[in-house]
């Protein structure tokens, strides 16, 4: 089953003024394992980035859904909260979920989140919207997965909708209020095993 992984890639980038600069940029992709994520980022960026590049960190990242609108390439991370029922208690449990959405401004990101979640059957709040450093996302790619014999993603995990918006979904866990402070975007217990960052 696929999950979202943030993969940071270091390479030499040519700036608009013609200068070259060594940069590290994060990408988000759907993969089954850390090894799978590393193999896939090389496949995806091999023809895009000129010259050599290296993967510096890979971390599992929790996003419930990703909404991509064709008219914008700026990603916003939106946190929503709502009260969910619990099986062993009458007291509602606060549920927190993270979403990514493309928009031209925070205001537009808020409006698009309201539109995208309009069918949600519970009352929700959007306590924070921040610009995400994510450069690009790579959802499940059936053709690439066939080439390296990956198990395909469940049919309902990637959905393309109308009106210039695509919705990408991968399994994730709901985060309650006590856990959200411990888990930021890109954090993972496994990150150190896949890091070759230069010492500070």
Can you give the pLDDT of all 200 residues of the chain as single tens digits? 578 999 999 999 888 898 999 999 999 999 999 999 999 999 999 888 888 899 999 999 999 999 999 999 999 999 999 987 767 767 778 899 999 999 999 999 999 999 999 888 889 999 999 999 999 999 876 655 544 444 443 434 444 554 567 777 765 434 444 444 444 444 433 344 444 545 44
The pLDDT, as a whole number, for residue 41 is: 93
The pLDDT, as a whole number, for residue 48 is: 84
Q: Is residue 200 part of a domain?
A: no
Query: Shortest CA distance to 167 belongs to which of 48, 33, 63, 36?
Result: 63
Helices (H), 46-128: 106-116
The pLDDT, as a whole number, for residue 120 is: 83
How many structural domains comprise the chain? 1
CA distances from 16 to 10, 122, 125, 135, 185 (A): 18, 46, 40, 17, 29
Q: Is residue 79 part of a domain?
A: yes
The pLDDT, as a whole number, for residue 63 is: 92
Tell me which residue has tokens 């066939």.
146
Range of the domain at 55: 3-194
Structure tokens at 79: 């946190």
Q: Is residue 199 part of a domain?
A: no
Question: Residue 63, exposed/middle/buried by CB under 10 A (0-12, 13-18, 19+)?
Answer: buried
């Amino acid at each position: 089953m696929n999950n979202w992984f943030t993969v940071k890639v270091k390479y030499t980038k040519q700036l608009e003024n013609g200068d070259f600069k060594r940069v590290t940029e994060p990408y988000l992709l759907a993969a089954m394992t850390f090894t799978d994520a590393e193999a896939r980022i090389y496949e995806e960026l091999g023809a895009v980035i000129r010259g050599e590049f290296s993967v510096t960190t890979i971390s599992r990242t929790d996003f419930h859904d990703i909404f991509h609108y064709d008219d914008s390439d700026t990603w916003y991370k939106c946190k929503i909260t709502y009260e969910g029922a619990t099986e062993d208690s009458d007291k509602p449990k606060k549920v927190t979920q993270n979403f990514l959405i493309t928009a031209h401004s925070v205001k537009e990101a808020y409006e698009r989140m309201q539109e995208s979640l309009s069918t949600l059957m519970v009352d929700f709040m959007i306590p924070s919207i921040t610009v995400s450093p994510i450069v690009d996302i790579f959802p499940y790619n059936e053709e690439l997965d066939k080439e390296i014999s990956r198990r395909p993603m469940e049919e309902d995990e990637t959905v393309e909708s109308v009106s210039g918006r695509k919705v990408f979904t991968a399994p994730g866990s709901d985060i309650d209020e006590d856990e959200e402070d411990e888990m930021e975007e890109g954090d993972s217990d496994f990150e150190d095993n896949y890091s070759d960052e230069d010492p500070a």
